[in-house]
Structure 1
Amino acid sequence: HTQIMWWVLLVKIADCTETIMFILRNKDKQLSILHLYHHISSVVIAWLIVRYYSEEISTFVSMVNCTVHVFMYIYYFLATFGSRIQAIIMPVKPYITILQMVQFFGLMLYALQFLMPNCQVPNSFGIGLLLNVTINWYLFYKFYKNTYVSSKIKQ
């Protein structure tokens, strides 16, 4: 499990290159608190799991997150085929954000198990994970509301 989690950590660090590219290309519109918090906290959580808890919590969090990323990157890949394909797949975009929020809600429930008596993972990690996924859920919810709900109201 530890070796898999090292690979996950490397992927999370690689994900941060997107943030670096936004900064280097002056894409300030794409650089949000959600984006920064999500990528930085993902690296921190992955590192904590590798360093301290990889045997205890195995790879569940990463498996769930990678599954969501598969759908997200399929969408991004299809979007590279031009405006005609983008118009076809555009209705799917809000559902990807919903899938991300469902992921975080599920991870909130998962984090609660670390607060149970007899759990070998320290409560502090469970509290930290619960706090992190709750913040991520809130930031994605705010993004969803501002991007998809508010824009429909304005139309």
Structure 2
Amino acid sequence: MLREAFSSVTKLHGYIISRIDTRVKDYPLMQSPLQMTSILLAYVVFSVYIGPRMMANRKPFGLNRAMIIYNLSMVLLNAYIVYEFMMSGWATTFTWKCDLIDVTTSPQALRMIRVAWLFYFSKFVELFDTVFFVLRKKQTQITFLHVFHHSFMPWSWWWGVALTPAGGMGSFHAMVNSTVHVIMYTYYGLSASGPRFQKYLWWKKHMTAIQLTQFILISIHISQYYFMEKCDYQMPLWIHLIWMYGIFFFLLFSNFWVQAYIKGNRLPVADHKPSQNGSTNGHIVMNGKPHTNGHAHPYENGNIVMGKVKKI
């Protein structure tokens, strides 16, 4: 039985590799799903087990300079990704309606493929958000949703880049997401720059509104598919998944808005400190994304435990 199971897995793996678009086979981390899956599994283990225990009896590292450089680099990287998405179709030849997957080797298609892969690769760079949390002992920021989002996004995008790297209308959400990240990493960089920059962070509350707007735009754009008289998009599965993604995260962030700004739920006073990809004044933020279920995960003796957010 084990031999049959192994044979089936091997055949499935071979089939997946055979389906990888020849235009991306030479790109890093695109030869097999096993490479990126191994990296992401190691990330999860480090984030929730090895890292917290490694730092349990150590003082937090002071990494402000490193965070400033990192956040500035992420601003520039995401700005470049937005520009390339625009130039490879969204600001040139796309209709913003039923834009099909490009299967050619035209200069525009190859440019779209390069930026799609770069967006995918940027999700691995973003894993350093969590590394900073661990090394600075900001374990309350490493919630289930934070780890899930950081690991699921690059994992799911591998399939999109591997099978349909020039994804047409399916690439819109990546461009929007990178635009939002330009704004958010700018905020993180200012937050890490010290108290003298706090006066420039008055727009912290609006970051949640920016996130909600992102999911609204993604959902509206992709929903066009269901109302078009004819759209021969080659991978309808991507349409359905993107639509569900937009709705799901819109609901989560709407819940955070209610919890944080209407009901007034906040983190305990002890956590009212600026942190990498966090916020000030006790607002719950994960990777620039507010904690959406009204709970935090306090850190005790190197372990992650569940805890309620109290009102103050």
The two structures have a TM-score, normalised by structure 2, of 0.44
Q: 1:96 aligns with which of 201, 207, 210?
A: 207
Q: CA-to-partner distance for each residue in 1:118-140, whole Å, 9 max, x for gaps?
A: 33233222111111122222222
Q: Distance in 2 between matches of 1:14 and 1:53?
A: 22
CA deviation after TM superposition for structure 1 residue 20, in Å = 4.3
SS of residue in 2 equivalent to 1:55: coil
CA deviation after TM superposition for structure 1 residue 104, in Å = 0.9
Q: Distance in 1 between matches of 2:154 and 2:129?
A: 13
State whether residues 172 and 218 of structure 2, in contact with CA within 8 Å, keep that contact through their aligned partners in structure 1: no
Residues 43 and 108 of structure 1, relative CA distance in 2, 3 Å threshold:
same
- Number of aligned residue pairs: give it: 154
Q: CA-to-partner distance for each residue in 1:6-61, whole Å, 9 max, x for gaps?
A: 11111011112323443565533101233233323321342232122332326432
Q: Residue 12 of structure 2 corresponds to which residue in structure 1?
A: none
Residues 149 and 85 of structure 1, relative CA distance in 2, 3 Å threshold:
farther
SS of residue in 2 equivalent to 1:151: coil
1:29 aligns with 2:140: yes
Q: Distance in 2 between matches of 1:134 and 1:32?
A: 21
Q: 2:173 aligns with which of 34, 58, 61?
A: 61
In structure 2, list runs of 5 or more residues that go unmatched.
Answer: 1-111, 267-310
Q: 1:10 aligns with which of 115, 121, 127?
A: 121
- Which structure carries more helix by proportion? 1
Q: Residue 131 of structure 1 corresponds to which residue in structure 2?
A: 244
Q: CA-to-partner distance for each residue in 1:99-133, whole Å, 9 max, x for gaps?
A: 01100111111222344543323322211111112
The two structures have a TM-score, normalised by structure 1, of 0.81
Q: CA-to-partner distance for each residue in 1:58-99, whole Å, 9 max, x for gaps?
A: 64322211111111111111112322422x234311111110
Deviates more, 1:52-61 or 1:75-84: 52-61
State whether residues 94 and 144 of structure 1, in contact with CA within 8 Å, keep that contact through their aligned partners in structure 2: no
Deviates more, 1:101-110 or 1:11-20: 11-20
In structure 1, list runs of 5 or more residues that go unmatched.
Answer: none
State whether residues 113 and 119 of structure 1, in contact with CA within 8 Å, keep that contact through their aligned partners in structure 2: no
Residues 23 and 84 of structure 1, relative CA distance in 2, 3 Å threshold:
closer
CA RMSD of aligned residues (A): 2.6
State whether residues 19 and 31 of structure 1, in contact with CA within 8 Å, keep that contact through their aligned partners in structure 2: yes
CA deviation after TM superposition for structure 1 residue 152, in Å = 7.7
Q: Residue 148 of structure 1 corresponds to which residue in structure 2?
A: 261
Deviates more, 1:45-54 or 1:73-82: 45-54
SS of residue in 2 equivalent to 1:129: helix
Deviates more, 1:10-19 or 1:58-67: 58-67
Q: Distance in 1 between matches of 2:258 and 2:152?
A: 22
Q: 1:79 aligns with which of 163, 185, 191?
A: 191
